[in-house]
Structure 1
């Protein structure tokens, strides 16, 4: 038996669903002056008009809002543990509210008074909070259903999503940890002005470090998909905001891996030891990562500014990856000694040039889509390919057309080779429950977990 209630409070419409004794609600904006998309998010949410240079697209952050642990848990846990939970989460709330307005900004973060960046400090705050939070999920306890965890969503049209399930909180924490990692990678990959005043470039150390960060971000998301999603009921999964949907998490994980391979390709381009075969393999793997990322994200109802921009970013990088893959495939085919191989090479190189032109158009559309952004000065992989693809295509087409009749030149590009994907997410595991939960005085007598199942909003 369930009861649906629609009511007004402070200008907001609450949709309430009472199912199996559990109350769930989701806030829906009514355009009032009390709470709008510009002033929510922990009291400090603001839509960004311009996010500056973007090397790595960081979707809109999910920001936690304050919750009261003492009222639902005061009769079940010791005062000290309730206070610790509250203090750790409040620290996250405050730091996330400070970080969110500048999360995607291209400027370098300034050091904090403790010597680290705000991003790394927030990451540490989440890591400190997670082991204590996991205590609410101890087997045989119904504590996981007792607190309504509230988060503001930037890629979802709903202003807030609040669910009485600690697994929802764990999922949100892992998502934020992944977003912070992508933000760190973006900062690393924005090129610094060259000391000689010429072309800006990124350092070798920054590129290597960014690959580790991409794998870490993918690891957080992979953990969420493998270890958190199975704990959520089908109803609860349907009630998740779109930026926590299974497809969104998979797309983000594949995005991180795709950008990691792009960095590997750039390093291979700079290496005199890397063969054309190695470069082609990396480029073809990059296509597969971005293709899968696009397949996942296109199924999602991402309809607002952040969501549309995210879709355009994935589309842009997918097309850009195709340009690289067809270029190296064409160069290898051209090494053949037959008319057929030379004809296939020309078709592949022409496809590479067309994909390069198309990627620039989609890149422009991405940057113009709100929040407005711009590409950093070209360097690395795309600077090299932007120069080489038109030059080599023109040369190979001219040579081969001088040798063969036009009938021998393929009109459609040959299929790309299919390589197994080599780059994998880090094997991130949820940390063990904080030792404070082992204190026999901490836990008071708990009823055996009932059949309570979080309902839909």
Structure 2
């Protein structure tokens, strides 16, 4: 009986559900699908080049399918090896522009796209590189050992590395927008929503907004950063997220095909509310230094607004986490961790101190003061395609001849 019970228990044991933590939002990944490269390009280029191309592409597919895209370093290394090989297809002299039908699908396998154009493959490769880079930024911002504490500590070095990764992801996406979307209309209509120009630009803005958020956190930990600098960073983050929301909300993105559209917009709303809270808090700190009673009244209004926005941001965070697919938010870290402690206390203290002024001047209050606008300063360096692999520029190509019988068998 003991053995029977043991087998029964083992049979009922379920795989542990892992709910990922999200500090940097990464939209759903798209991965390549096997296509018959051997049949398409055999006899058109040397066999050793054919073998290299097929080998590297298959390696990318294998890693992506086996790990669900979590092996970011291995995948990025394979993609960077593949890209110079892939660029050879774009040379008109080789006659390969419409020979191969390149296939890609989302990670869940719900939506597959097949397009006979190497620039579609290049666009898909660089998009995947950007998404994997965002995933790397998320990984280093999630504490690995909290020692039983609910506090989240992210080192300054990790924060700076995350900013670099976010800038790199943004540079990939902006390159795609500027250089890789000049397709004929019929191909443009077949591109998945993740590769539309507004979506690519929106995710680029979102990455820059999160990079600015991290810079704000670093500034708040620095004794040399002034309140003006912190306000500027918070307002810039607000600007980036506004641009991201505008781009993505204009794209009619949804979740019917397994995408993350609604969840992405929920994430932006959450971060937007946090950024607005930070902007009003630091604006209040600056205004509070004035000597006029109206300055104190404006400051209190800013503090109360910041407190209310933080409360709303926590609700938005919960909505984001519960949106499909379900995720978790890590404990507060960086700048928002400090704001969660400072703002409620200061808002309560200042409203009690200057409540009489608020009451006296309530008829003259025009609402919250306008936040200043700043030019968005965080910009990625321009990214460029690598050089075409040297195997494509070899003038001593030896194209193997194929007997007629084998050619006919391949064509069947």
- The normalised TM-score by structure 2 is 0.87
1:376 partnered with 2:330: yes
More strand by share: 1
Matching residue of 1:147:
100
Shift of 1:343: 2.5
Aligned to 2:103, the other structure's residue is in SS state strand
For 2:224 and 2:363, the matched residues in 1 are separated by 34
For 2:127 and 2:222, the matched residues in 1 are separated by 35
More helix by share: 2
Matching residue of 1:424:
379
Matching residue of 1:247:
198
Q: 1:332 to 1:408 in 2, by over 3 A?
A: farther
Q: How does 1:123-138 map to 2 (within 5 A)?
A: 123-138=76-91
Matching residue of 2:309:
355
Q: How does 1:260-299 map to 2 (within 5 A)?
A: 260-299=211-250
1:60 partnered with 2:28: yes
Aligned to 2:291, the other structure's residue is in SS state coil
Residue by residue over 1:74-121, the C-alpha shift from the partner in whole angstroms, topping out at 9 and shown as x without a partner, is 2321111111111111111111112326x4xxxxxxxxxxxxxx2111
For 1:335 and 1:262, the matched residues in 2 are separated by 25
Matching residue of 1:174:
126
Unaligned runs of 5+ in 2: 1-15, 400-412
Shift of 1:426: 2.9
User: RMSD of the TM alignment (CA)?
Assistant: 2.3
Greater radius of gyration (CA): 2
For 1:154 and 1:291, the matched residues in 2 are separated by 29
Residue by residue over 1:214-257, the C-alpha shift from the partner in whole angstroms, topping out at 9 and shown as x without a partner, is 11111111111112123x22332222101111111111111111
Maintained 8 Å contact 2:212/2:237: yes
Q: 1:64 to 1:393 in 2, by over 3 A?
A: same
Range with greater deviation from structure 2 (169-178 or 132-141): 132-141
For 2:272 and 2:95, the matched residues in 1 are separated by 45
Shift of 1:330: 1.4
Matching residue of 1:324:
278
Residue by residue over 1:141-163, the C-alpha shift from the partner in whole angstroms, topping out at 9 and shown as x without a partner, is 441211111111259x9620111
Unaligned runs of 5+ in 1: 1-47, 104-117, 445-457
Shift of 1:394: 1.7
Matching residue of 2:321:
367
Matching residue of 1:80:
48
Q: How does 1:32-71 map to 2 (within 5 A)?
A: 51-71=19-39
Matching residue of 1:26:
none
For 2:117 and 2:387, the matched residues in 1 are separated by 19
Maintained 8 Å contact 2:150/2:331: no
Residue by residue over 1:165-188, the C-alpha shift from the partner in whole angstroms, topping out at 9 and shown as x without a partner, is 111101100111011111111110
Shift of 1:72: 1.8
Maintained 8 Å contact 2:152/2:330: no
Residue by residue over 1:188-237, the C-alpha shift from the partner in whole angstroms, topping out at 9 and shown as x without a partner, is 0012435695733011211111111111111111111112123x223322
Range with greater deviation from structure 2 (68-77 or 424-433): 68-77
